[in-house]
Structure formats: structure tokens, C-alpha cells
Structure 1
């Protein structure tokens, strides 16, 4: 075979691979970038500059002195993080059998959780497919962490999406829940994904940071900043990542999403606090990307800034997305001194947290897992 034929074959293979990638990233699971009137609205946001949303503070993806070569070297050659070798314990609450008067939170692993507040049923960042990736064989859930399926979910009054990363916005889960969802709430641009997935425009509510969304009588979701980024494909920051200060007739909850530590927590606490409960990320951290995820001790600092009475740490316990042991986030946050004014809540997956019982106790369940 001559050189010309070899080159033709090589170029054909490369072209086929590129075409395959283009076709794949245009499948529905990747959602859609904002366009038309949605994009026109985005372009008027003070948080949108140079064709992208921006954080309030300069936020490099990697810490100073770190490059992607270092990240890849550590990924391939450092000791692999410990993952659970046995089935995770759980206490599966029947979400359809709750009394209407109960105010509860039920953590489903990672950053997915259900809340019933003053009669309204709320779901945050549900990922119930068993994986957190475009590929079903990649970033698999730990055994025992996926005790809930979409069949277990009742009708949802408010679905909150903090941002569109795969471990927070799961195409398979959202599609199956579609008939049960009454309202979708997110930052600017997130609705473009849902419209591509067949959701009616009338159920989608999007807003910019420090803007309110009036949901129902007595229920307000104040969209607030986070220090992170967004994107489901090659393009980043075309949708707005967010947190939420949720006010109900009887309680105030901070829905944190993903965020590095910064001054925005204190500003949110000043504007909207104090909070009865702050749900904050606590996991998938690394000193190499400390600006976009909180490292140990920072979730408690953030909860203090927010003026929260209690802290529910999430973003762990289901997927391995960073180079720390699976149980390290829970072990470290549970080591908080007992005289801390902020109560640390560490339920098992599926365990009902009664927001009206400040004396409810939780075990260090992760210590029983091999």
C-alpha cells in the first residue's frame, strides 16, 4: 500500500471520528444552547460578558501553578481514591406517604434531594439514572446509593436545577419525571435544555442572580450567586449556575448547588438570611481546583456567613469525581467541634430529616461501610 492510500485511510478514519463526535454531542441528552429571545434576555444580564456568564470574582478553573498536565498526571498516576466495597446502608422513606403537615428533607445521594415544605413537594438536581455522565457506563453510582427511582417520586411542585452539569441535570431522570413536574426553576438559560426535551414554556421559570421568582402564595425563590461554571459539552458558561434562597410560609432554606468559597455567601446571608437550613456542597474537592469547589472547612465557613442554623452537606456519597476517598468529606465535616453553633446533619440516603425536630440524631453511617 502506498503512502497516498495510507493517508486517505487515515484522514477518512479521523473524519469519521470527528463526524461521530459532532453527531453525538447534538443528541438530545446534551440539551440546547440559549437562542432567540432567551439569548437576547441573557445578553442584558450584568453577569454576562464577552459571550459568557461570569462569576462575581475572578475564578480560574485551576489553582495558580497548576495546569491540566498536572491534573492528568495525578489522575493516571496517583493512588486511586477509596470507593465503598460493600453496599451503602439506606433508610428509604416512602415519599408518597408523607403526611401533608410534615416538613422534611430526604437526601438521595450526591446533590439530589427531596423536600416537603408547607405542603409543597420539591426536588433538587435529581440524578436517578445510576450514572453522572453522557455515557451510562461511566461515573457509576456506588452500590446502594441509587435506592430511589423515578417511580418513587410523587408529583413535584417545584423542580430546582442549580446548573446544567451532568451530575446535577440528568437527561434520563428529567425525561421520566416530566409528567410529574409542575414548575422548573433555574438560572438564566437553563430552560433551553428543558424546551428541547419537550417541556412547555409555561412551566419554566428562569432568573438572574439577586432576582426573585414568585412561585405560589407564601413561596418565593430568590435566585442567588454561586462560584462555579456551567456546560454540558465543549462550550462553557452559556447558562447561569445559581443557588437559591427559598422562602416558604414557615421556613427559609438555602439551596446551594456547587460553589467555591467566596464573599457571595456573606452577601446572601445579609440579604436573605438567617436560614433554618443550608444545603452546601461538601465533596469532589481538590486543592488543584479550590476556586470552583469548597475544600474541607469551607462549607462550615459558608454556613456561618449565610447565618444558617443547620448544615446539610451534600455532593458526596454516590459518585467519584475527585481524588479523595469516598467517605472523607463526611468524616471531616462530622469532626466539627460539638460546641459549634451550627448543627451538622448527616442522614443516610433516604433517611427522613424532620425539620421540626432540632434534636433528631444521625449516626456516622459511613463508618460501617467497608
Structure 2
């Protein structure tokens, strides 16, 4: 019996090791890429650091207690009882003469600016290393890699599975012009066979001018990274896209912090903000904005228009699936800030400042 148990344990360990070394987990930075990372002011003590002290868990709970509550705490309406309202706009048929945004659920975005197509954090196949975890809500998985037109710029905020989908980027491999990502994330793309010439890695406040009309700058976020057992070997980021259509802020995954005011001070006017909203919990409020922190961030940024993402497709936190939209819509009505609320697939026209959308999450 002892030998049988040892054999089972050994086989299980081998199986886990093989799984964790499968291509979808990517590769940790090494060589010249690692040497560049070590020169970053945001890399200290062998890993990337946030701009202010940040613990993953708050409220003094142990990781085991938090995991137990995450998996077994009952939450009403965690998953919608019917299909989430969505519309499938034909992205290939959109005129490149128009500057626009199409939200594809969670944090995946299709953006057209200055005749260029930009794809942000496209998770169109799987948000986890195995298909039975993080399954999308019914009605939300309407876009697939085959629906994407040629992509001029693939924009990645960090390497978590719900933002960097191996199956999606592999399917789009021959359809991508340039890749912009945080420091270290380029190692994944190089490992997956993408040409080094098209990979552009940015540290916070570094810029890339990949087109004549768009200046793209990495901005700080308060989060963490990692696809396997090792964390924070790659950077996490937000982006500012500067174009004649205005300054467009992508917050990326982030908790509230001093970087919010710093972004406003550096760039001044923010014409359109796309902010994280959802998959929050008081237990990890430093790395995801809870509703009150989101309102504070909006007040400090003062965007002329804003929409929120990171909600309504996956249950990655213990709140009702539509709570993020309920809370932000209520706050916008009470406080008067300029929220636009597209459903998955709606076209948001960046130069149409009076465009409105009906509630779809009730």
C-alpha cells in the first residue's frame, strides 16, 4: 500500500509538473530581457513592486480562509439566470474612418483610432489554463478569434489568464502587426513564436509612437502579475492613448492608489476613461477597486466620458454578477458624472459626446 501511494504521489507530481510547463503558461523573463528588467526603478528585491506598499489580502484573513470563502460562500445572483444582453457587431465591416470602441466583455476591447485597429486584452477562447474554470456567462462569449479583422496593435495590460489568453493570441498570430505590453510580458510572446521585431515592452511612463497619429504611454497600476506559481516577474500597467480624438485612459487591473492623481497631473485632460469595475472584494481592495474607490478615482481623474470594464462575463469575485453596473450607474445618476454603458458588442463613437445607452443589466 505504501509503495502504491508513493507511486500515485510521484505520478501526480509528474503530471502537475508537465501541466505547469505546458506552452500556455508562457516563460519567465531571461537573458537580455531580464537584464533590462533589472534596470527598472519598479523592479526591486527580485520582483516588480507597486508604487506603494500593497498586500494581496487585507482584513487579516489567512489565504486558506479567503480561498474557502471564495469557493464556498453563497452569493445571490453570482451568475445570471439567463443570457446576458449582447449584440454582435461585425467588426470587419466597421469603417476605418470612424474612431470607436467595442467592448467584447470583461476587459477585452476593440478600438479604432486614426484608421488603426487596436485590440486590448482579447480573451476570446479561455480565461484560465483549463476550460472548466472561469467559464463565461451565457450570452457573453459571442466574439471569437475568427471575428477579428487584421490587428495593427495588440495591447496587453498584464499576463494574468483573464487578460492574456494563449489560445486567442495564437489564433491571431498571423493577423497582428505590432504588440505593446509591459516589461517582461514579451518573453511569453517570444516563447510562443512571435517575431521579436514586433514586440514592444514598456515600463511605467515609457511611450511608443507606433503610428503617426497615436502616442501610447504606459501608466502605473496597482496590481500584480503571473501565470503560474511565480508572481511579479512581469510588470502590470495601464495605458494612455493620445490622439486627435482625445486622451483615452485604460486603467488596466488596479486598486486605488496615489498613481491615480499622478496620471491626472501628468496628462491633464482625460477625454475618455475605461476603468476597472468588478471582480472586487474588500479582502483584496488594494489590487482591485471596490465601488467607493472607483468613485474616488473618477472624481480625481475627472474624465469627460467614461465606461467601465472587468465585469459581466466571469464570476471571479463574490458579488452579484450585475452589482458593478448597478452601483456605478446609480453613482453616476446621483453624482452626475458622464458614464456611458454599452453592452457587449455595442459601438461607442469617440467623437459623439451625446451618445447614450439603455440599461441592459437588470
Aligned residue runs from structure 1 range 301-320, under 5 A: 301-320=296-315
SS in 1 for 2:216: strand
Match of 2:135 among 140, 144, 152: 140
Report the counterpart of residue 328 of structure 1 in structure 2.
Answer: 323
SS in 2 for 1:365: coil
Deviation string 1:214-256 (CA, Å, 9 cap, x unpaired) is 2111311111110000000000000000011111233211111
Deviation string 1:255-308 (CA, Å, 9 cap, x unpaired) is 111000001011011112311111111000000111000001322322332231
Aligned residue runs from structure 1 range 1-370, under 5 A: 6-82=1-77, 83-129=79-125, 131-338=126-333, 340=335, 342-367=337-362
SS in 2 for 1:132: coil
Contact residue 87 and residue 144 of structure 1 kept, 8 A: yes
Contact residue 273 and residue 308 of structure 1 kept, 8 A: no
TM-score normalised by length of structure 2: 0.97
Residues 295 and 226 (structure 1), Cα distance of their counterparts in 2 relative to 1, 3 Å cut? same
Deviation string 1:303-349 (CA, Å, 9 cap, x unpaired) is 33223111111000100000001000000000024364531111110
Partner Cα distance (1:143, 1:90) in 2: 10
Partner Cα distance (1:250, 1:60) in 2: 37
Contact residue 205 and residue 217 of structure 2 kept, 8 A: yes
Moved more, 104-113 or 331-340: 331-340
Q: RMSD of the alignment, in Å? A: 1.3
Partner Cα distance (2:128, 2:38) in 1: 29
Contact residue 245 and residue 350 of structure 2 kept, 8 A: no
Contact residue 224 and residue 231 of structure 2 kept, 8 A: yes
The Cα shift of 1:189 comes to: 0.4
Partner Cα distance (1:201, 1:341) in 2: 46
Contact residue 81 and residue 326 of structure 1 kept, 8 A: no
Partner Cα distance (1:113, 1:364) in 2: 20
Number of residue equivalences: 361
Partner Cα distance (2:349, 2:18) in 1: 47
The Cα shift of 1:73 comes to: 2.9
Partner Cα distance (1:276, 1:286) in 2: 29
The Cα shift of 1:76 comes to: 4.0
Extract unaligned runs of 5+ from structure 2.
Answer: none
SS in 1 for 2:181: strand
Extract unaligned runs of 5+ from structure 1.
Answer: 1-5
Residues 100 and 337 (structure 1), Cα distance of their counterparts in 2 relative to 1, 3 Å cut? closer
Moved more, 324-333 or 98-107: 98-107
Contact residue 220 and residue 246 of structure 1 kept, 8 A: yes
SS in 2 for 1:336: helix
